Chains A and B, each alone.
Chain A
Amino acid sequence: MNMTCRALLGATVSLTLAGAAMAETTITVATVNNGDMIRMQSLMDGFYAKHPDIKVDWVTLEENVLRQKVTTDIATKGGQFDVMTIGTYEAPIWGKQGWLVNLNDLPAEYDVDDLLPAIRGGLTVDGNLIAAPFYGESSMVMYRTDLMEKAGLTMPEAPSWAFIKEAAEKMTDKSAEVYGICLRGKAGWGENMAFLTAMSNSFGAKWFDMDWKPQFDQQPWKDTLNFYLDLMTNYGPPGASNNGFNENLALFQQGKCGMWIDATVAASFVTNAKESTVADKVGFALAPDNGLGKRGNWLWAWNLAIPAGTQKEDAAKAFVAWATSKEYLAEVAAKEGWANVPPGTRSSLYANPEYQKVPFAKMTLESINAADPTHPTVDEVPYVGVQFVAIPEFQGLGTMVGQLFSAALAGSSTADAALAQAQAITTQEMTRAGYIK
Chain B
Amino acid sequence: MARKTTPAKTAVVTIAAWTIGFLIFFPILWIIILSFKTEGDAIKSPLQVLTSGWTLHSYAEVQTRSNYALHFWNSVILSLGSTVLALVIAIPAAWAMAFVPGKRTKDLLMWMLSTKMMPAVGVLVPMYLLFRDFGLLDSRIGLVVVLTLINLPIVIWMLYTYFKEIPGEILEAARMDGAGLKSEILYVLTPMAVPGIASTLLLNIILAWNEAFWTLQLTTKNAAPLTQFIASYSSPEGLFYAKLSAASTMAIAPILILGWFSQKQLVRGLTFGAVK
Contacts and interface: CB of A to CB of B under 8 A. Distances in A.
Contact of A35 (B231, B232, B234, B238): B238
B217 A269 contact: no
A35 B221 CA distance: 20
Nearest to A75: B125
Interface in A241-299: 244-246, 249-250, 253-254, 263, 265-266, 269, 274-275
B237 A59 contact: no
A244 B236 contact: yes
A77 interface: yes
Contacts of A72: 124-125, 128, 217
A391 interface: no
Contact of A275 (B132, B216, B239): B239
Contact of B39 (A60, A62, A263, A275): A275
A184 to B, nearest CB: 11
Interface in A16-39: 28, 30, 33-35, 38
Interface in A21-72: 28, 30, 33-35, 38, 41, 57-65, 68-69, 72
- Name the residue among B39, B65, B124, B131 with the largest chain A CB count within 10 angstroms: B65
Given A65-B231, A76-B128, A246 B221 contact: no
Given A28-B220, A33-B232, A77-B132, A269 B238 contact: yes
Given A57-B221, A76-B125, A246 B44 contact: no
Interface in B191-241: 216-217, 220-221, 224, 228, 231-240
B136 to A, nearest CB: 11
Interface stretch (A78-86, A103-111, A202-210, A229-237): A78-86
B137 interface: yes
B217 A68 contact: yes
B44 A254 contact: yes
B242 to A, nearest CB: 11
A424 B216 CA distance: 35
Contact of B216 (A69, A250, A274): A69
A72 B137 CA distance: 12
A159 interface: no
A246 B231 contact: no
B21 to A, nearest CB: 29
Contact of A34 (B216, B217, B238): B238
B40 A63 contact: no
Contacts of A80: 137-138, 220
Given A28-B221, A76-B128, A78-B128, A62 B238 contact: no
B132 A76 contact: yes
Contacts of A269: 238-239
B43 interface: yes
Contacts of B216: 65, 69
Nearest to A272: B40
B17 interface: no
Contacts of A81: 220
A35 B90 CA distance: 47
B258 interface: no
B129 interface: yes
Given A34-B238, A78-B132, A59 B233 contact: no
Contacts of B235: 33-34, 62-63, 246
Max chain B Cβ within 10 angstroms of own Cβ: one of A35, A80, A265: A80
A163 to B, nearest CB: 27
Contact of B221 (A33, A59, A65, A275): A59
Contacts of B238: 34-35, 246, 249, 269
A190 interface: yes
Interface in B120-134: 124-125, 128-129, 131-132
A246 B236 contact: yes
Nearest to B124: A72
A76 B124 CA distance: 11
Interface string B100-136: 0000000000000000000000001100110110000
Contact of B232 (A60, A190, A245): A60
Nearest to A250: B43
Contacts of A58: 221
Interface in B27-55: 39-40, 43-44
A395 B235 CA distance: 19
B34 to A, nearest CB: 13
A245 B235 CA distance: 10
Contacts of A190: 236
Nearest to B244: A62
Given A28-B220, A33-B235, A38-B65, 16 more contacts: A34-B237, A59-B221, A60-B232, A61-B231, A62-B231, A62-B236, A63-B235, A63-B236, A65-B231, A68-B217, A78-B131, A244-B236, A246-B240, A253-B40, A275-B39, A275-B239
16 contacts: A33-B233, A34-B237, A38-B65, A59-B220, A59-B224, A60-B65, A61-B228, A61-B232, A62-B233, A72-B128, A73-B128, A78-B128, A80-B137, A245-B236, A266-B237, A275-B239
Interface of A: 28, 30, 33-35, 38, 41, 57-65, 68-69, 72-73, 75-81, 190, 244-246, 249-250, 253-254, 263, 265-266, 269, 274-275
Q: What are the 3 closest A-B residue pairs judged by CB atoms, nearest first?
A: A250-B43, A275-B40, A60-B232
Interface of B: 39-40, 43-44, 65, 124-125, 128-129, 131-132, 137-138, 216-217, 220-221, 224, 228, 231-240
